Amino acid sequence: MNTVARSGVLSDAGIAGGNPWTANRRSSVCCSQNSSRVSLSLGGPQTNKLSQETKIFNSSFADRRSRPFTGRHSCSWTEKTSPIGSAIQSLGASSYAETATESYPHVAEEKIGVLLLNLGGPDTLNDVQPFLFNLFADPDIIRLPRLFRFLQQPLAKLISVLRAPKSREGYASIGGGSPLRQITNEQADALKRALEAQDLSANVYVAMRYWYPFTEEAVQQIKRDKITKLVVLPLYPQFSISTTGSSIRVLENAFREDAYLSRLPVSIIQYWYQRPGYIKSMADLIQKELETFSKPKEAIIFFSAHGVPVSYVEDAGDPYRDQMEECIDLIMQELKSRGVSNDHVLAYQSRVGPVQWLKPYTDEVLVELGQKGVKSLVAVPVSFVSEHIETLEEIDMEYKHLALESGIENWARVPALNCTSSFITDLADAVVEALPSATAMSTGGSTSEGGDQDLINYVVKLFFGSILAFVLLFSPKLVNAFRNHLI
């Protein structure tokens, strides 16, 4: 199914390089009851590597500047106190050096910052094409071999120009732009209040990867505010090199180049899909939606996750698929503990381009379920915690229409978590738990000779890349070839 280019859409031009995860696919991170350390390298040799020491905390699972978004999924949050001294939950957290840090009782003396990472989305229809360019210019999205890396921006320009008209149609259908920035701002405000309810004062910042406010803007504000300890919280439950990995790479580069920031103690929560608070919040929303059916037990729980190219997982060692499958298992375990034993399916949406993506595909599974006689289905956007184009247009419009056309009679969709109280409280808990692991980034200077060489390389790439872009854009045969694959 050809889909509109969306705020989380990915493309792939081939992966060349090694495996950034040192373990096999089914055990991408090996944890014990005590803290352990693993070495991460995000991306292959064709991208800037992010290598760091990562501390993995493990515990038992048992335990506004965009236009207003006033739809039924807008944010609301009620303060809910949670014990500060709780044991560390399942939390992927990383820190940047071996130096010891203060424990939580000392954080009252600190100036704490929390940085929320998200992809971003165009605020208006005029923003769509430049947003798409930023997306496809990311080497973690279109992964070119080193030899052809100079084509990154010309190719991004070509793809963004070709895809912009249809993408504008999608954004027009949900009100003329993405609500993601406003919702993320509301989540930041709610998180700040939730932390205050735990007697922790913190500045909460929003950093978007591909649109305003960009990561660099947030980083400069953190510096101006003289933050003394920072927790980085990606708003992606599962880790992928194309989402969390890409955002962290940009963040690390910005910190490395600044003397003040390179010494700032930082803790990164790399994934949190297995946290009990998140799992229970998802189960609450699913259970509530099932109750809208006349026969709740007959409805299929249809988990639709954002896909990634298979090569990310098999060649680059992306743990996304494993984490997604484990996430679904944990949600279903929680539902079964409540007496909800409905059948469930996991499929992947938002594929684009000629390469193979994670299967099964959402559109194909919906058709198959209809052919098998399934009449009731509740869709669950499991990899999204905010409403945006993939939920409001792709699921609510495209997939709903396909499902009804395929014979499914009763359709419902679980809303994104947005500012759900239990979800925001769990994020606050995650921040508190991550604070003690914050340590300073190590400095990494560069020589003037290296800087001169980078400038020369940039000029050469820009020159030849511009020529190639000109040829591609004005060659009808080539444009049509790209259009057939990318639109």
What are the DSSP calls for 266-290, one per residue? Answer: EEEEEE-TT-HHHHHHHHHHHHHHH
Give yes or no for a contact between 254 and 261, defined as CB atoms under 8 angstroms apart.
yes
pLDDT computed for residue 464 by the predictor: 53
pLDDT computed for residue 193 by the predictor: 98
pLDDT tens track for 321-363: 999 999 999 999 999 999 999 999 999 999 877 789 999 999 9
Q: What are phi and psi of 361, to 5 degrees?
A: -85, 140
Q: Amino acid identity of 360?
A: P
**Residue 77 belongs to what H/E stretch?**
none
CA distance 149 to 356: 22
Q: What is the mean pLDDT of residues 402-420?
A: 98
Q: What is the mean pLDDT of residues 386-401?
A: 97
pLDDT tens track for 262-271: 999 999 999 9
Spell out the residues 6+ positions from residue 19 whose beta carbon is closer than 8 angstroms to its own: 315, 316, 317
pLDDT computed for residue 141 by the predictor: 83
252: Cα separation from own chain's centroid: 17
Q: What is the DSSP string of 3-24?
A: ----TT----S---S--SSSS-
pLDDT computed for residue 91 by the predictor: 44
> Which is higher by pLDDT, 160 or 477?
160
pLDDT computed for residue 454 by the predictor: 53
25-272+420-447 has CATH 3.30.70.60 classification = no
pLDDT tens track for 282-324: 999 999 999 999 999 999 999 999 999 999 999 999 999 999 9
Q: What is the mean pLDDT of residues 26-37?
A: 32
- Helix residue ranges per DSSP H, 198-275: 215-224, 244-256, 259-262
CA distance 271 to 105: 25
Q: Amino acid identity of 269?
A: I
Share of the chain above pLDDT 70, in %: 68
Give yes or no for a contact between 14 and 145, defined as CB atoms under 8 angstroms apart.
yes
> Which is higher by pLDDT, 441 or 101?
441
- Is 474's pLDDT higher than 60? no
pLDDT tens track for 365-374: 999 999 999 9
CA distances in angstroms from 454 to 127, 399, 451, 460, listed in the order given: 30, 46, 5, 10
pLDDT computed for residue 94 by the predictor: 54
- Helix residue ranges per DSSP H, 75-151: 128-136
Strand, helix or coil at 199?
coil
**Residue 268 belongs to what H/E stretch?**
strand 265-271
CA distance 306 to 382: 8
CA distance 12 to 8: 13
Label residue 93 exposed, middle or buried (CB < 10 Å: 0-12, 13-18, 19+): buried
Share of the chain above pLDDT 90, in %: 62
**Residue 38 belongs to what H/E stretch?**
strand 36-42
Asked if domains 25-272+420-447 and 277-413 share a fold, the reply is: yes
CA distance 8 to 426: 24
> Which is higher by pLDDT, 469 or 163?
163
Q: Which of 69, 60, 126 is nearest to 87 (CA)?
A: 60
pLDDT tens track for 194-226: 999 999 999 999 999 999 999 999 999 999 999
Place of tokens 């890349």: 465
Q: Amino acid identity of 210?
A: Y
Cis ω before 234 (30° cut-off from 0):
no
Q: Amino acid identity of 370?
A: G
Give yes or no for a contact between 81 and 193, defined as CB atoms under 8 angstroms apart.
no
CA distance 238 to 367: 27
Four-residue CA torsion sign, 132, 133, 134, 140: positive
CA distance 222 to 114: 9
Whole-structure pTM value? 0.74
DSSP, res 392: I
Label residue 332 exposed, middle or buried (CB < 10 Å: 0-12, 13-18, 19+): buried
Lowest mean pLDDT among 50-54, 67-71, 102-106: 50-54
- Is 446's pLDDT higher than 50? no
CA distance 226 to 214: 19
Tokens representing 126 are 């005029």
Q: What are phi and psi of 324, to 5 degrees?
A: -65, -45
204: Cα separation from own chain's centroid: 18
pLDDT computed for residue 459 by the predictor: 52
Lowest mean pLDDT among 49-63, 204-218, 455-469: 49-63
Four-residue CA torsion sign, 241, 246, 248, 252: positive
pLDDT computed for residue 142 by the predictor: 80
pLDDT computed for residue 110 by the predictor: 86
Domain boundaries, the chain: 25-272+420-447, 277-413, 449-486
Cis ω before 145 (30° cut-off from 0):
no
- Is 113's pLDDT higher than 80? yes
- Is 187's pLDDT higher than 90? yes
- Which runs of E-coded beta strand occur in 162-234? 202-208, 229-234
The residues facing 394 across adjacent strands are: none
Q: What is the mean pLDDT of residues 244-270?
A: 94
What's the fold here for domain 277-413? Rossmann fold (3.40.50)
Tokens representing 182 are 């406003």
pLDDT computed for residue 302 by the predictor: 98
